[in-house]
Amino acid sequence: MCGCDMAQLPGTALQPDAAPREVVVEFEYSLLSEVARVSPFVDDVMRSIGIFRVTADIEVDIEIALREALLNAIIHGNREDPHKHVYVTIFCGTEGEVAITIRDEGAGFDSNSVLDPTAPEHVMSAHGRGIYLMRALMDEVSFEEGGTVVYMRKAATVTPRQ
C-alpha cells in the first residue's frame, strides 16, 4: 500500500473510549515522513474504511481531517525527516464510527498556543488551518503526549429511513 507498512504501534496513547464501542476492524500503519506519500496513503485508507461509513459527506470530513493530521505530523512533527515515521491506527465501528490516532516522532507542541486562523490578522496567512479544520470536521480531536499524538473521532451518522 503506497509505501506504508502494517506495523505494531509501540505505546500509542488511546483514551479509554478511543475505539468505537463495537470495533469491526482495526488498521495499523507506519508511514515514512514524506509529503508525497500522504495522498496515495489517504486514498487507500479511504477505500478501506469506506465500507463502514453511512454517508459520503462524513467520509469527506474524515478524509480532509486525516490529510491535515498526517501533513502536520510529517511537516511540523517529524520535520520531513525521511528516517522518521508517522504511526496511524484506525478503528472502524459497526455503526460507521471511525476513531483515528496519529503519532509522530517529533518534539511535540502546545496545542493551546496554536493561533486562530479566523482572527483578522491571520486570515491571509498561507498556513495554520490544519488543526482548525480537524476540529471543525471531526466530532472529537485531542492532542496527547505533548502534542506528538493526535486522536480524532467521527461518530456515525445514520441517514433517516424513508
Read off the CATH number of the domain in which 139 is found. Answer: 3.30.565.10
Assess whether pLDDT exceeds 80 at residue 142.
yes
Which of 19-23, 89-93, 139-143 shows the lowest mean pLDDT across its residues? 19-23
As a whole-number percent, the residues of the chain with pLDDT over 70 amount to: 80
Number of domains in the chain: 1
3-state secondary structure of 150: strand
Residue 11 has pLDDT above 70, yes or no: no
161 found inside a domain: no
Instruction: Kindly state whether residue 16 falls inside one of the protein's structural domains.
Output: yes
Residue 10 neighbours by CB distance under 10 Å: 7
C-alpha cell at 78: 517529524
Is the pTM value of this prediction over 0.85? no
Whether residue 31 is predicted with pLDDT greater than 80 in this model: the reply is yes
First to last CA, the chain: 39
- The answer to the question of residue 49 being in a domain is yes
